Amino acid sequence: MIKENSENLILLTTLLILVSIWMIFYKLGVAPLWKPEGRVAEVVREMFIRHDFLHPTSGWEPHVTKPIIPYWLDVIVVHLTGKLNELTLRIPSAIGAVIAIVTLVLFSKKLLSSTIGIISALLLLTSYGFILWARCAAADILNLSFILITITWYWWWKDKPSVITCFIFGILLALSGQMKGLVGVAIPIILILIDILYSKKIKDFFKISILLPAIIGFSLYFLIFLVSSLSAHSHGFNWISRAIHESFGRFFHPFDHKGPWWLYIEFISIWLIPWSIIFLYALFSYTKNFKKLDYNRRWLLLSVLAIFLLFTASGSRRSYYILPILPFSTIIMADVLWEITNKIIKQQYNSKEIILLAIQTSIFLIISITFILSKTFIRHFLKGLDLPSQLFSANLVSGILIIIPTIIAIYGLIKIKKQPQIAKILLIAILVAGFFTTSGVFCLEKPIVDKRATEKAFILSVKTWLVAHPNVEPAYFLVGARPRTRLSFYLNLRHPVTVLRNKKDLRQFLSEHSSWIIICVRQDEKTLLLYLNQLKTPYHILLKEKRLPWEGYPNNIKLINKKKYIAFYHIKAQKNL
């Protein structure tokens, strides 16, 4: 399938880059901001309003829980395009994702082979978790990308280190740490220590000529914080100490994000959909044959285990923290798939390996049939669920695109005994089916649903009303919840908005403002109305966020509705309305 030569590698890598760009950038700006993107958007918006790009704020309060570099990347894109919207905020992550794909090819080539590099990059690109966060205005994919770049640089130059390569390594390590915190430093160092200790080359690396340039390069990490800290006296705290405390504090004494210890066992498989079954098999195969593996493969397995244990040991756990494990996992998966392919060609395979390929093919067959028959299925079994007609058309296209390579894969499985050379076509067919599955969801179906999101439309309607009523004071009523940064971003007010937490806050706000608008989520509506009635305050309902036809189906699903907005208002002179 893929010969080990530079021409094929360049050609296939170029094709992979083009496919990656299309899959990651296509309709990138269609979806409104969702939960993790609101904070980033609001921080960047406030930077431009305050003309201060060294001291991030969210809700006009200092925000140093995350490094500043990702915000700067967004600022650069916004400055170059002259626009601050969903697309420009997501571009840095999207570019980082493409870079990660190319880096994975180079890393895999050095570690195992160029063939495995191409396969692993395609597996990563088509994994649910990777493509989801690649199209998100958050630092998680940038974190993954720089961790991978740092490890790749080390692996390419570890046998011939020099002052320059060590200095560049230090800079890369610093930038990695500036993406999402010290985890970007910890992971490369841990993986490198595994290599140094396991290969028994401690003396070769612990030399002044190697450590000093790396340390000097890494000083960039502290320099960035230092610049902000020296000019942040008005904020009343040290930015370096707060940033470092954020990383260590979350690890040892988390104050939020306290997921269960088994969270990452579940989410590694979820993020690797539709390849989860291959991941589990590959991990089992590597573990079972650990003693038979060569050095690089042993290091790879130990690295995956180390990353998993690092995040599991942390007291603060969120599903997306584990994303840096994905590139290393897909290399293992690609290696096992390529080994199975070669064993089939040599007629040395076993029944378990064929069953694995058959199960993966069956998964794509079920997905394709589900897409093709989605309209019929919903009409007969989910009556009353009104979905956009364009979604069914997109499902049909996706289903047809998936089923074609799936049929080829089925044919390959049938003919494999008589024609072992067909194993290469079988592998290609499975990979193509995976590509159409993931690209169909994110490039065809999801944009159709995203266009009908109701939150942004609600907020923009409130914004229009506020422009027509400039003397009305806005406020958020939030009981036990964080301020909604997406709300602030889309309202685009140039001053802080009052956040009301209880009856006392509400009483004070009402005493200070005779004309007001209060926005809350449905789950806080009863509490707000109770307080308003107790305070004998007249009010009117301005707007309620609409419910999409499929939200609330079946009727016992109410979680979505509870998070929808509702706006109440009162204007002293009603005749002005």
Number of domains into which the chain is organized = 3
Cα Rg for the chain, rounded, in angstroms? 27
Q: Do 261 and 398 belong to one domain? A: no
Amino acid letter at 278? I
Query: What contacts 229, CB < 8 A, 6 or more positions away?
Result: 238, 239, 240
Is residue 340 included in any domain, yes or no? no
Residue-level pLDDT at 252: 55
In the predicted model, what is the mean pLDDT of residues 471-493? Answer: 89
Q: Work out the percent of the chain whose per-residue pLDDT is above 90.
A: 69
- Let me know: does 202 contact 196? Beta carbons within 8 Å: yes
Residue 248: other Cβ atoms inside 10 A: 11
Mark 24-41 as b/e (b = at least 16 C-beta within 10 Å): bbebbbbbbbeebbbbbb
pLDDT in tens, 165-178: 999 999 999 999 99
Q: Is the pLDDT of residue 229 over 80?
A: no
pLDDT in tens, 467-476: 999 999 999 9
Residue-level pLDDT at 402: 97
Whole-angstrom Cα distance, residue 123 to residue 128? 10
In the predicted model, what is the mean pLDDT of residues 371-387? Answer: 76
Q: Do 297 and 256 belong to one domain? A: yes
When the pLDDT of each residue in the chain is averaged and rounded to a whole number, the result is 88
In the predicted model, what is the mean pLDDT of residues 146-163? Answer: 94
Q: Please state whether the peptide bond connecting residue 274 to the residue before it is cis, i.e. omega within 30 degrees of 0.
A: yes
Residue 293: both structure tokens together: 């593996």
In the predicted model, what is the mean pLDDT of residues 474-489? Answer: 87
Residue-level pLDDT at 554: 43
Q: Do 48 and 163 belong to one domain? A: yes
CA distances from 200 to 60, 161, 205, 295 (A): 52, 17, 10, 12
Is residue 1 included in any domain, yes or no? no
Q: Do 366 and 330 belong to one domain? A: no
- Let me know: does 344 contact 420? Beta carbons within 8 Å: yes
More confident residue, 6 or 73: 73
Q: Do 479 and 356 belong to one domain? A: no
Q: Do 421 and 567 belong to one domain? A: no
Q: Do 402 and 267 belong to one domain? A: no
Q: Work out the percent of the chain whose per-residue pLDDT is above 70.
A: 89
Is residue 331 included in any domain, yes or no? yes
Residue-level pLDDT at 1: 46
Q: Do 462 and 404 belong to one domain? A: no
Q: Do 212 and 86 belong to one domain? A: yes
Single residue among 314, 335, 356 that ends a domain in this structure: 335
Q: Do 74 and 11 belong to one domain? A: yes
- Let me know: does 564 contact 545? Beta carbons within 8 Å: yes
- The candidate with the shortest Cα–Cα distance to 122, out of 339, 427, 353, 369, is 427
Distance separating the N- and C-terminal Cα atoms of the chain: 71
Q: Do 311 and 202 belong to one domain? A: yes
- Let me know: does 477 contact 522? Beta carbons within 8 Å: no
Give the H/E segment covering residue 540.
Answer: strand 540-544
Of the ranges 59-63, 484-488, 563-567, the best mean pLDDT one:
484-488
Report the CATH number at residue 478. Answer: 3.40.50
| Helix (DSSP H) and strand (DSSP E) numbers for the chain | 26, 7
What is the separation of C-alpha 538 from the centre of its chain, rounded to a whole number of angstroms? 44
Whole-angstrom Cα distance, residue 413 to residue 526? 60
Single residue among 430, 450, 470 that ends a domain in this structure: 450
- Let me know: does 26 contact 440? Beta carbons within 8 Å: no
Is residue 16 included in any domain, yes or no? yes
Q: Is the pLDDT of residue 272 over 90?
A: yes
Q: Do 362 and 508 belong to one domain? A: no
Residue 416, φ and ψ in degrees, nearest 5: -65, -30
**Residue range of the domain that includes 502:** 455-576
Single residue among 450, 476, 505 that ends a domain in this structure: 450
Q: Is the pLDDT of residue 558 over 50?
A: no
- Let me know: does 96 contact 403? Beta carbons within 8 Å: no
- Alpha helix segments (H runs only) across 373-495: 374-381, 389-415, 423-439, 446-450, 455-468, 485-491
Is residue 341 included in any domain, yes or no? no
In the predicted model, what is the mean pLDDT of residues 523-545? Answer: 93
pTM given for the model: 0.91
Is residue 58 included in any domain, yes or no? yes
Is residue 431 included in any domain, yes or no? yes
Residue-level pLDDT at 295: 95
